[in-house]
Structure 1
């Protein structure tokens, strides 16, 4: 499958060396109006203005170049210059990215942003370079919560027996099973129909996805567990990076940093819009005391955090919590 996608990408990107022509190519699985896509487009305009049109970015959104796993492979050998991916697909490439994906490791959006903007974020992104990827910046992916068709989830006991959709991720499966529910890995595009037909009882995601994918039309209960605040990464092919002169490398990092501010602005607007849509619907939303849920995660953390280096990152994240 990866091979066929590489061929397809080569067709879309004839030279596969876009840096040489001044146009960096970017991949994103999110649709064209999504905050991460718009942030990278903002980055492209920034580069265009700073270089008098010498550098820019063309973003292929909506998964045009393949899944995040496939585009990461293409990016690593220089077929794509820039790639926006969730941290989860990076876990199989670099173990140091796992701490950002742990359930309940972040206790708020502000905590997550504080961590990724710190030296911790820099160190985690730097760990990608041996894999032929240069970490440029870290974007938001929102707080993920559970929603379902059966009942409000107020304690872990309410999770018992529920069939909860998860991505095909060992970490997600372990998390949901540890909470007492039954993890059901199905593709993202099948969630709406599966909820409507009773194949699954629920799923989990952030506010914009809950509304944007119309899951709120079929799931009557949204419980604000905020169990994951896994961020997203903007990475660049090391091969493409090395073709840039030092001054342009500095400018690309500057543009990426500026794009984080724009992404967060767009994301916060999108979250507010989604909350307003849910408030106007028949969905029942309930706050959750997260401590009993977080208390069940130690076996999950121990399963995936296995090295002293990972443990040190986790400890530093926890030390940056408010209060």
Structure 2
């Protein structure tokens, strides 16, 4: 983030702090995120805010700022690190640059099915990943379901890895996503989520990859008429809190916040399932061609990534092996 920009954001958020202040015994935590208000993740964060206020009898509140009002995903994470922002929700891929072990969740075709994914995220491995970012001033509270990511494109469906050859595919700022698209034959191109619609319109990129609700709520389908459900990754979202803010809470306040986050995660899972089906129905109505290509060629195309991790990232590879052992 440019120095001037982070200073401007810092001053803006400070002004929000003053405007949000209430009685002296009320604590307000600011929570920013990059998604639109119609997204199910935003609804879950509003639920989190409601439950915190209920549990604390109004003594602890969360004010949610959606739609990149306070910055991009990366900027929001950086603001958490310096304690200028309290909470955010980011893709686990966006945390790779801050908490390296999060990379493991971006390994393509890592999970056998939804049950396997849930066991990993709600078990010891998931808890370890959430707390593993504390040394970087970020504490994970819970995972939100972000479904499975697939390719969408402007000019033709992506039915096999060879169809990606010569295509500029938008990726997040993630080494794992970059390596995945490259392994499949495409040209990975990092673009901020908020700038992607314009990038697709202008031909800066030829396509992208994301889950059905994000494709629908972002209206990227207005530019991209093909959605190829190869479901290469199942990257969860992560609700995180600044350790500077977390450590300023007393034990009771921390309990309220953690419990509310856990409850919001269960609620979000329900919202996500309904939203995914609705999004697919609406995409079909809008004329998007939805295909279900054979996943095996894509799975084979990324096998060299596993071999590279074995030698280049042995800690990540060890976690992969532990995940694969979970039944």
Question: Structure 1 stretch 57-66 or stretch 149-158: which is displaced more?
Answer: 149-158
SS of the residue 1:222 aligns to = strand
- Which one of 50, 55, 79 corresponds to residue 84 of structure 2? 79
1:131 aligns with 2:170: no
Q: Which moved more, 1:185-194 or 1:119-128?
A: 185-194
Residue 310 to residue 29, structure 1, CA distance change in 2 (3 Å): same
> Does residue 1:22 correspond to 2:27, yes or no?
yes
What is the CA distance between 1:128 and its match in structure 2? 1.1
Q: Deviations over 1:6-39 (max 9, x none)?
A: 2222222239999973222211111223222222
**Which residue is 1:103 aligned to?**
108
Q: Distance in 1 between matches of 2:92 and 2:148?
A: 14
1:295: Cα distance to partner? 1.7
SS at match of 2:152: strand
Aligned counterpart in structure 2 of residue 215 of structure 1, from 207, 217, 220 = 220
Alignment of 1:179-218 (within 5 A): 179-196=184-201, 198-218=203-223
8 Å CA contact 1:17, 1:240 repeated in 2:
no
State the distance in 1 between where 2:154 and 2:15 align: 44
Do structure 1's residue 39 and structure 2's residue 49 form an aligned pair?
A: no
Instruction: Report the 3-state secondary structure (helix = DSSP H, G, I; strand = E; otherwise coil) of the residue aligned with 1:31.
Output: coil
Change (3 A) 1:16 1:302: farther
Does residue 324 of structure 2 align to residue 318 of structure 1?
yes
Q: Who is 2:17 aligned against?
A: 13
- Count, aligned residues: 321
TM-score normalised by structure 2 residue count: 0.88
Partner of residue 117 from structure 2, selected from 87, 99, 112: 112
Deviation at 1:150, TM superposition (A): 3.1
For 1:31 and 1:263, how far apart are their aligned partners in 2?
Answer: 15
CA RMSD of aligned residues (A): 2.5
Bigger shift: 13-22 or 293-302? 13-22
Which residue pairs with 1:250 in the alignment? Answer: 255
User: Residue 302 of structure 1: CA displacement?
Assistant: 5.0
The 1:219/1:261 distance shift into structure 2, 3 A limit, reads same
Unaligned runs of 5+ in 2: none
Q: 3-state DSSP class of the match of 1:316?
A: helix
Q: In the alignment, does 2:52 pair up with 1:52?
A: no
What SS does the corresponding residue of 1:161 show, helix, strand or coil? Answer: coil
| Matched residue SS, 2:147 | coil
1:3 Cα deviation from its structure 2 partner? 2.9
> CA shift at 1:125, angstroms?
0.8
Cα deviation 1:41-95 (Å, max 9, x = unaligned): 2122112222221122111111111112122122123222222111122111121
Match of 1:163 in 2: 168
Tell me if structure 2 keeps the 8 A contact 1:144–1:227: yes
Q: CA deviation at 1:110?
A: 3.7
CA distance, structure 2, for counterparts of residue 188 and residue 51 of structure 1:
35
Q: Any idea what SS the aligned residue of 1:158 has? A: helix
Cα distance between partner residues in 2 of 1:68 and 1:194: 18
The Cα of 1:281 is off from its aligned counterpart by 3.4
Against the structure 1 CA distance between its residues 168 and 72, is the aligned structure 2 distance closer, same or farther, given a 3 Å change threshold?
closer
Contact 1:109 1:142 in 2 (8 A): no
Structure 1: gaps (5+ residues): none
